[in-house]
Structure 1
Amino acid sequence: MSFNNANGGRQLTDLLIIGAGPYGISLAAHAKAHCLTYTLLGYPMHFWKHQMPQNMFIRTHPDSVYLSDPHESFTLLRFAAESGIDLPVPLPRPLFVDYATWFAARTGVRFTPEHVLQLSRTADGYEAVTEGGGVYTARHAVIATGLQHYSYIPDTYDGLPPGLVSHTFALTDFRPFAGKQVAVIGSGQSAWEAAALLHMAGSDAELIYRRDAANYREGQSGSELIQLGETFFDLPLEQKREKQVQPPGSAAAFLRPYVEGKIRETGNAVVQKAEAVDGGKLRLELSNGETRLFDHLVSASGYRIDIGRVPFLEQRLLELLEREDDGNGRYPKLDAHFMSSLPGLYIAGPLASYSHGPAFRFIAGVRKACRSIIPRIVRSMAHARSGSS
């Protein structure tokens, strides 16, 4: 794995890739294999390293966890074999980060480790300005960022002091909650993980959720989600709408021993009112008529994907982007090859999940995105060269 020097040069490359997680790394591997020049902007696997709890697991079976190169040569199974390790089930998150680092090294991916401050259009294509003052231009650009811009906390908690409420996003150190009473609101994987990690850190946690009871699911292979990613775009509209509806929250069955018998659970309840009270406490009024006092609340309320919340997109560029008819205009409209309404601007990952389906909220869509985007860019460049000759 190697790094580019951010020298601020304006050399025009074929491709800008914004986001250095699984999608960005895989796109770079495909670009390199197709002899495209590229700049991969972002800190390698930053979200996975620094904004997710490291002592928890990936719920998808290791057989369906991988990054993508053109020949599918550098798989998680190959990494395990070459590293002399047995892949545990479930898969620890740090092991996936190690795999991504190995993958990048084996495929020759090069990083420019800087955050992008602004992406804008130019006469030749697109320009990215970085935190270090670098200016990078390319004929094409791919936005391949993850969920970091979209964390959602319900309006019920508006007005609470910041010290009393957190979102599960970026909550990685639970030691400060030792000896404290903490409410975890939600019924999905992130709620159960947070509750388990709070208990392990010595806090008195309580899970509060609207379901009647916990919803545990056995380990998911991920193969069905991957297949859906391959076919979703061409489905009839009614089938797309059915697939786009997210199922009720569930937790992986491997979390059961971390929670059951250790953490209080209150089901069939919704927080109707939350207020700060004397002594730095938080008072919750629940729909079942009960009240609770806590030191802190953790909202496992998920994410609301919205391209308008991507901080580095120039306002003029945002205005020009055509949106999907999702009722809110939060998703960019993408074609079969993930290109937006702006020529040469492609979008992968969660922002593509309305056009291309729920696989793209996760790494299950990596292969489809790479095999669609990079060949399309190669063809468009060949067409441009033949037209100018």
Structure 2
Amino acid sequence: MIRPVAVIGAGPFGLSTAAHLRARGIPVRVFGDPMVSWREHMPEGMLLKSTPVASSLDCPQPGHTLADYCDAAGVRRLVTDEDIIPVETFVAYGEWFQQRLVPGLERVRVVSVDRGEHGAFELKLDSGESFTARAVVVATGLSGLAHLPPELAGAAGDGPAPTSPVSHSSQHHDLGRFAGQELIVIGAGQSALETAALAAEAGARVRVVSRGRGRVAFGAPPWRQPRLRPESPFGRAWSLWALSHYAQPYRFLPARTRHLLVRKVLGPLGAWWLRDRFEGKVQVHEVDRVLGAEAPDGSPVLTVRTHDGRTERLAADHVVAATGYRVDIAAMDFLGHGLRTSLAVSRGAPRLGAGHVSSAPGLYFTGLPAASSYGPVMRFVCGTEFASPRLVKHLAAAHG
């Protein structure tokens, strides 16, 4: 009996990888709820910052782009840089992709992955089943990686939660629950600015607390992009073009440089179309840093240091930390302790070799956990075009 490859995760990177494996005739079992992070952990009414050309899942077969889905579903075609993608449309596209190319997806959770005999992997599912896989692809996306800065922990109780004084932006689907309340959103990226705009539109009184001077900014609309620079899925710039299309050498850069670029390239910046919905509706409070937080009576109070050195206290009914995600192998508790602690890591992220393989032969990582090895393109859906064919080619050669 030929042992299958196990793909853990059914978001864009998991589905794309599975489609490539199936196209090569490699037996594969895929586990997860398709597009669950996009469907349940993104706010209702959200619009994608990425353009249509950067929002298609890669697969070997033609006819499965976002534009193809629009044609098949009879919805308005999304193809130009000025077309904006509702999250509901993107979720429906991912589910359509899964139904057509990954029909055998199993909606169960992988409880544990451990190294078995002869280099294989032993997996246990929450259904009670155990089986052996010849290789494992971890494509769990943002799951379990939400980052809460330690200075906010004092008001978060047992952790960020919608019912706690402090939550993370990934924990809100319906921002209407804040109607009539004072809300503080911490951050200056698209997640923070769009969360703030949506909450304000739902009737909340919103302040964005931005750490740094002049951090709240918005990108230029497509018609104002420079024309004499090469195109990339993220905009026109030589650096973006290189990072998008030539990510192979990225893993040979010094660790400090790799991690810095992942954080800084395409860093905090609101989408061009969000400016009119944000300015004049949301108050911005720029501070030098957040010093701490507490919730003595159940409502959060932030202590901040201003740019002129003063200390201020900011009160609200709730604080939303739009503070991003941090890859940490320790948070992937489905990986067995022995396997997890033996992996080579760099600042918590797996160190990957050619073809996205980790230091444990047969164990692969794709999507955000691969960003520190292959660059910022792994943070975006268009990264499937780079990652999926290379990962599957390496896997087929090593475990064919």
Q: TM-score, normalised by structure 2?
A: 0.85
Q: Which amino acid aligns with 1:237?
A: L
What is the number of equivalent residue pairs in this alignment?
Answer: 367
In structure 2, distance between residues paired with 1:172 and 1:209: 23
Q: How far off its partner does 1:282 sit?
A: 2.4
- The 2-side partners of 1:256 and 1:174 are apart by 19
2:86 is the alignment partner of 1:84: no
- The whole-number CA distance in structure 1 between the counterparts of 2:258 and 2:148 is 27
Q: What fraction of aligned residue pairs are identical, expressed as a percent?
A: 31
* Distance verdict in 2 for CA 1:381–1:166, change over 3 Å: closer
* One of 251, 255, 264 as aligned partner of 2:270: 251
State the distance in 2 between where 1:80 and 1:209 align. Answer: 37
Paired residue secondary structure (2:301): strand
CA RMSD, Structure 1 to Structure 2 (Å):
2.2
Distance 1:339 1:253 in 2: 37
- 2:28 corresponds to 1:28: no
Q: SS of the counterpart of 2:134? A: strand
Secondary structure, counterpart of 2:98 in structure 1: helix
* Alignment of 1:116 onto 2:106: no
Ranges in structure 2 where 5+ consecutive residues have no aligned partner: 158-163, 223-231
1:322 aligns with 2:344: yes
Whole-Å separation in 1 of the counterparts to 2:234 and 2:153:
39
The residue type paired with residue 373 of structure 1 is: L
Amino acid at match of 2:302: L
For residue 245 of structure 1, report the CA deviation from its aligned partner.
4.4
Shift of 1:227: 5.5
Correspondence 1:47-58 to 2 at 5 A:
47-58=37-48
CA distance in 2, matches of 1:253, 1:219: 5
Letter in 2 for 1:339: V
Q: Distance in 2 between matches of 1:99 and 1:349?
A: 18
Q: How does 1:179-328 map to 2 (within 5 A)?
A: 179-213=180-214, 214-218=216-220, 222=233, 228-235=243-250, 237=253, 240=258, 243-247=261-265, 248-278=267-297, 280-288=298-306, 289=310, 290-324=312-346, 328=347
Cα 1:331/1:265, change in 2 over 3 Å = same
* Paired residue type of 1:356: Y
Conserved in 2, the CA contact under 8 Å of 1:62 and 1:87?
no
Aligned to 2:5: 15
Q: Which amino acid aligns with 2:290?
A: V
CA contact (8 A) 2:156 2:166 kept: yes
In structure 2, the residue matched to 1:177 is 178
CA 1:144–1:219 in 2, change beyond 3 Å: closer, same or farther? farther
1:81-160 to 2 correspondences below 5 Å: 81-88=71-78, 89-124=83-118, 125-160=120-155
Answer yes or no: is the 8 Å Cα contact 1:60–1:219 preserved in 2.
Answer: no
Structure 1 position 226, deviation (Å): 7.5
Contact 1:208/1:269 (<8 A) preserved: no
Q: Is the 8 A contact 1:51 1:169 kept in 2?
A: yes
Counterpart residue type for residue 137 of structure 1: T
**Counterpart-to-counterpart distance in 2, 1:316 and 1:108:** 31
Give the residue type in structure 1 aligned to 2:391.
Answer: I
Alignment partners' CA distance in 2, 1:65 and 1:80: 13
Which stretch shows the higher mean deviation, 236-245 or 162-171?
236-245
Matches of 1:77 and 1:42, distance apart in 2: 25
Change (3 A) 1:240 1:209: closer
